Amino acid sequence: MDNKKIVKVGAIVLGSLLIGGIGGGMAFNGSGFDNGYAQGQSDFVPKEVIKEVTVTETVEVPVEVEVPTEVFVDNGNLNLLLEHIYDNDGKINYLLDDLDDDELDLIVDRVVFINDIKSLAVQEIKSEIADEVDKMVITLSDNSTITLDEDDVERIRVDDDADEILVDDIDFEDKDADLKVTGTFEQDDVKFNYEAIVEFKDGEVDDISHVEVTERV
């Protein structure tokens, strides 16, 4: 083959490669390849890109939390406390009325104090009720009357169960209290009911007041 034919064949092959390369490039762009140009335009056209970003934000919200207050008791005073609640049918608001949350451990001390003054009240009534009712004139159910005499009063009974002695008023700080005590006695074969207030000052018996006596029918 002479030199002219070689040159001509080479030119044809080169031309074919260039046309194929351009056509292939256009076909590739048309299939989705982004080269920064819009199809059919010679100027560069920027495209808007939207990107989603997830942002996590922590918000602190104040929450009120009720913290239970604990009253510590041991084997010695637990039974004391439970017995007091049981004996008073759960009516023990007077133990808590003036206490703050950080003073609830004083409840057991208050129970001990109440039990002590109840015992003192019973002893005081047993020894003094006859004197307290002396000379009282009582109207009986048949409309007759009887004058009570401390020397004739007998068979004195005191309602001494814990739930029968009522706390009428109490000041734990000063150890002052009024306890309502009830019971019975007899005179000349007539039975009577009585009710009295035993007053305490500084933890000691101060007086017996508000004594009421009625015939026990």
Q: Is 111 within 8 Å of 80 (Cβ atoms)?
A: yes
* Segments of the chain assigned E as strands: 137-139, 145-147, 154-158, 166-171, 176-187, 190-201, 204-215
Q: Which of 47-51, 144-148, 187-191 has the lowest mean pLDDT?
A: 47-51
Report residue 142: phi and psi, to 5°: -95, 15
pLDDT band at 106 (very low <50, low <70, confident <90, very high): confident
Residues 6+ positions from 94 with CB-CB distance below 8 Å:
167, 170
Least reliable range by pLDDT among 30-39, 75-84, 155-164: 30-39
pTM of the model: 0.58
Q: Is the model's pLDDT at 19 over the cut of 90?
A: no
Would you say residue 9 has pLDDT above 60?
no
pLDDT band at 33 (very low <50, low <70, confident <90, very high): very low
